[in-house]
Amino acid sequence: MERAVRYSKKREAILAAIQGTRCHPSAEWVYKQLKPQHPDLSLGTVYRNLVFFQQRGLIQSVGVIQGQERFDAALAPHSHFVCNCCGAVLDLPDIAPDSALDQTVSRQYELTVQRHELTFYGLCPSCSDPQQYLKEETSS
Amino acid sequence: MERAVRYSKKREAILAAIQGTRCHPSAEWVYKQLKPQHPDLSLGTVYRNLVFFQQRGLIQSVGVIQGQERFDAALAPHSHFVCNCCGAVLDLPDIAPDSALDQTVSRQYELTVQRHELTFYGLCPSCSDPQQYLKEETSS
DNA sequence: ATGACTGCAAAGACTTTGCATCTTT
DNA sequence: AAAGATGCAAAGTCTTTGCAGTCAT
């Protein structure tokens, strides 16, 4: 017998938070985002739901960046850019991975390739701007 | 004044261990590998030297896989395959990232791109073999 | 002798999990 | 009422770090 799934207001809010941002959030980001509207939300619930959504393919991990796992609401195939300075993750919608490559690699190396990822690393506009250090703090 | 660097037998052994394997080791792997020959080696020393080698470009992080950061002795540009089952990391020497892509992305998105990585995910030969479950345990 | 390197253990950061309680059906 | 979902806090894993002792120069 399969395990039943029940509605939960917090689960809904967690998924909406991830789908509603482009920042590829971490568990903590989701938690802080929702805490004001859901004062009794706990981090454990966020983590449990992240696993839940991943298992159902609603979200995907983008990897661990600066110590925290980051997530993406899975949509069209695309690549990512990661800022080595602030850890920001940006979508590169025009840089789509070539799925034919999977087959090439599968054959050439006798592996079962399921997918591949193309990730760029560097500095985001804000971190590569030398003037940033002269500006006032605008975020904490 | 720059900080001097001194010789250390353990540092040498740690680098040699990483350069001498294709397994893209974690800190713990290096530690366990060297412990028999260096009974007084500590994990802290391994971690400190991993940082040391990274800062000097002798090794590179391949990312965090199943909770552990994995490293690679940096050589020719190549791609990686990661087994979603056992976490094995394989080099794909023939799948070289196209460095021209960095410039393309830099211009198109106004980012400072330093490098990119192409990583394939799937099952390694051993994990995709259905008979593996019938075999005796050969490793712990 | 100086100061870099290390062992050890404590501390940190992130994530998972057990259990009692609350919710959904 | 049954069973899934959550809050809370403890536990777990991996990594970093402070300090005193050791070693290279």
**Contact with chain B for residue A85, Cβ under 8 A:** no
Domains assigned to chain A: 1-75 (1.10.10.10), 76-140 (3.30.1490.190)
- Asked if the model's pLDDT at residue A99 lies above 90, the reply is no
> Which chain B residues are closer than 8 Å to A64 by Cβ?
63-64
Measuring alpha carbon to C1', the residue closest to nucleotide D2 is A4
Confidence (pTM):
0.91
**How close, in Å, is residue B42 to chain A by CA atoms?**
22
Tell me the two tokens of residue B39: 């009974």
Whether the CB-CB separation of B45 and B10 falls below 8 Å is answered with yes
Q: What is the pLDDT of residues B78-97, one digit of tens each?
A: 999 999 999 999 999 999 88
- Asked if the model's pLDDT at residue A130 lies above 80, the reply is no
Whether the CB-CB separation of B30 and B41 falls below 8 Å is answered with no
How much is the pLDDT for B43? 98
- Asked if the model's pLDDT at residue B18 lies above 80, the reply is yes
Query: Which nucleotide lies closest to B64 by the C1' atom and the CA atom?
Result: D14
How much is the pLDDT for B136? 59
Whether the CB-CB separation of A40 and A78 falls below 8 Å is answered with no
Q: Which of B112, B124, B129 to probe the A interface (max A CBs under 10 A)?
A: B112
- Asked if the model's pLDDT at residue A139 lies above 50, the reply is no
Give nucleotides in strand C with any atom < 7 A to a protein C-beta.
Answer: 3-10, 13-18, 23-25
DSSP-derived secondary structure letter, A26: B
How much is the pLDDT for B99? 85
Residue in the structure block whose two tokens are 């106004």: B110
How much is the pLDDT for A97? 85
Q: What is the pLDDT of residues A1-22, one digit of tens each?
A: 678 999 999 999 999 999 999 9
- Asked if the model's pLDDT at residue B11 lies above 80, the reply is yes
Rg from Cα positions in chain B? 18
The answer to whether the beta carbon of residue A28 comes closer than 7 angstroms to any atom of strand C is yes
The overall average pLDDT reported for chain A is 92
Q: What is the pLDDT of residues A51-67, one digit of tens each?
A: 999 999 999 999 999 99
The answer to whether the beta carbon of residue B26 comes closer than 7 angstroms to any atom of strand C is no
How much is the pLDDT for A140? 40
Which CA distances in Å does A78 have to A57, A62, A72, A81, B44? 16, 11, 11, 10, 38
Measuring alpha carbon to C1', the residue closest to nucleotide D23 is B8
Alpha helix stretches (DSSP H) within A1-116: 9-19, 27-34, 43-55, 100-109
Query: Which nucleotide lies closest to B5 by the C1' atom and the CA atom?
Result: C4
Q: What is the pLDDT of residues A22-61, one digit of tens each?
A: 999 999 999 999 999 999 999 999 999 999 999 999 999 9
> Which chain A residues are closer than 8 Å to B128 by Cβ?
111-112
* The CA-based dihedral angle spanning residues A72, B124, B80, A26, taken in that order and rounded to the nearest 10 degrees: 20
- Confidence class for position A96, pLDDT limits 50, 70, 90: confident
Q: What is the pLDDT of residues B32-82, one digit of tens each?
A: 999 999 999 999 999 999 999 999 999 999 999 999 999 999 778 899 999
- Among the partner-chain residues B106, B114, B122, the one whose CB lies closest to the CB of A111 is B122
Protein-to-nucleotide distance from the CA of B107 to the C1' of D13, whole angstroms: 41
How much is the pLDDT for B125? 95
